[in-house]
Amino acid sequence: MEDHLRDFIHYLVVERRMADNTVISYERDLKKYVQYIVKVERVESFQQVTRGHIIQFLKELKESGKSSKTIARQIASIRSFHQFMLREQIVQQDPTVHIETPQAEKTLPKVLNLQEVEALLSVPKTNTPLGMRDKAMLELLYATGIRVSELINLNLVDVHLSMGFIRCIGKGNKERIVPLGRIATEAIKQYIETSRPQLIKKKRPEALFVNHHGNQMSRQGFWKNLKRMALEANIKKELTPHTLRHSFATHLLENGADIRAVQEMLGHADISTTQIYTHVTKARLKDVYNSFHPRA
């Protein structure tokens, strides 16, 4: 059974060309699923899997406190896996056909206000190589709204400062061009000319952002730095790399940006994904009204 799972993961990487994080998510979900049907349901082959087995697995997830969003993602992983096996004629039927996906709770993304953004961006000390790098990374994230995975995978050749844009590869290996603002451009320029040469020393990495060893910056490394900088900025909200992406989109829409343009910059395939930010701006308008209108 593990062989079939490995074949499916290989299919996602080679044929579907999915992003590394997406593949990791599929593999993690499916390993839990396979472990359950083998150890609990005593299933010996995928041909024996029934709708009932999957329902019981999903029930276990719900009883353990998993959210509707997590369960919906798990169903999507299981469904894709069984459809793959059906196409490959490993099984004769798909037990996921009549399994409904639960309605995910709609949660508004957490965003920083302008004062909090300014406080965070002012934390890095640009008189040190690492501070200059952190400043450039934060300015770039807020200026473009790119994902942290896209940020750390940027190479020098992807940055076009004179023309004011970056080229990044998003989900599904889709390329997009995102404009850069003046302040972010200046921060990146200073980093490339002054800080990066000191960090890479004699190494010649392609990556734009590097750690103190001169190697490509990792997600974990940036996440660790961001948590430290959030503390220094005295930001009480939960702050993740995605918070800056949410803030980028929300602030653009609040200032009158066209939603289609924001969709393009974020790299959303479906505009319904971008529309969540219109709900955020409406919620913030309501807060302002309740705070300042004399008869609110």
Q: Which of 171, 176, 189, 219 is catalytic?
A: 171
pLDDT confidence tier of residue 295, bands split at 50, 70 and 90: low
Same domain, 138 and 37: no
Say what the pLDDT of residue 279 is: 72
- The CATH number covering residue 48 comes to 1.10.150
Same domain, 126 and 75: no
Say what the pLDDT of residue 104 is: 59
Catalytic residue list contains 147: yes
Amino acid in position 41: E
**Does 102 fall in a domain?**
no
Collapse the DSSP code of 160 into the 3-class scheme (helix H, G, I; strand E, B; otherwise coil) and give the result: strand
**Does 50 fall in a domain?**
yes
pLDDT surpassing 90 at residue 20: no
Same domain, 197 and 265: yes
Say what the pLDDT of residue 1 is: 77
Q: Which of 53, 82, 196, 245 is catalytic?
A: 245
Catalytic residue list contains 237: no
Q: How high is the mean pLDDT of the chain?
A: 88
What are 251-271's pLDDT values in tens digits? 888 888 888 888 888 888 888
User: How far is the C-alpha of 280 from the C-alpha of 296, rounded, in Å?
Assistant: 20
Best CA proximity match to 59, nearest among 40, 44, 83: 40
Say what the pLDDT of residue 227 is: 92
**Does 156 fall in a domain?**
yes
Same domain, 82 and 118: no
pLDDT surpassing 70 at residue 287: no
**Does 109 fall in a domain?**
no
H-helix segments, the chain: 2-14, 20-39, 51-63, 68-87, 114-121, 129-144, 148-152, 182-190, 196-200, 219-232, 241-254, 259-266, 271-274, 276-292
Domain boundary pick from 70, 87, 104: 87
Q: Which of 69, 73, 79, 242 is catalytic?
A: 242
Tokens of 43: 């299933």
User: How far is the C-alpha of 93 from the C-alpha of 83, rounded, in Å?
Assistant: 9
pLDDT surpassing 80 at residue 143: yes
Say what the pLDDT of residue 242 is: 87
What are 24-51's pLDDT values in tens digits? 999 999 999 999 999 888 988 898 999 9
Same domain, 83 and 140: no
Say what the pLDDT of residue 129 is: 95
Same domain, 287 and 166: yes
Domain residues for the domain of 9 are: 2-87
Same domain, 81 and 165: no
**Does 108 fall in a domain?**
no
**Does 281 fall in a domain?**
yes
pTM strictly above 0.75: no
Catalytic residue list contains 202: no
**Burial class (CB within 10 angstroms; exposed 0-12, middle 13-18, buried 19+) of 58:** buried
- The CATH number covering residue 139 comes to 1.10.443.10
Angle at alpha carbon of residue 184, lines to 180 and 190, rounded to 5°: 125
Catalytic residue list contains 268: yes
Q: Which of 82, 147, 196, 251 is catalytic?
A: 147
Mean pLDDT of 227-247: 90
**Does 107 fall in a domain?**
no
**Does 188 fall in a domain?**
yes
Catalytic residue list contains 279: no
pLDDT surpassing 60 at residue 138: yes
Q: Based on the structure, what is the number of domains in the chain?
A: 2
Same domain, 171 and 221: yes
Same domain, 274 and 169: yes
Same domain, 119 and 184: yes
What are 55-65's pLDDT values in tens digits? 999 999 888 88
Same domain, 63 and 160: no
Domain boundary pick from 47, 68, 87: 87
Domain boundary pick from 87, 104, 130: 87
Same domain, 79 and 133: no
What are 79-109's pLDDT values in tens digits? 999 999 999 999 998 999 888 877 655 666 7
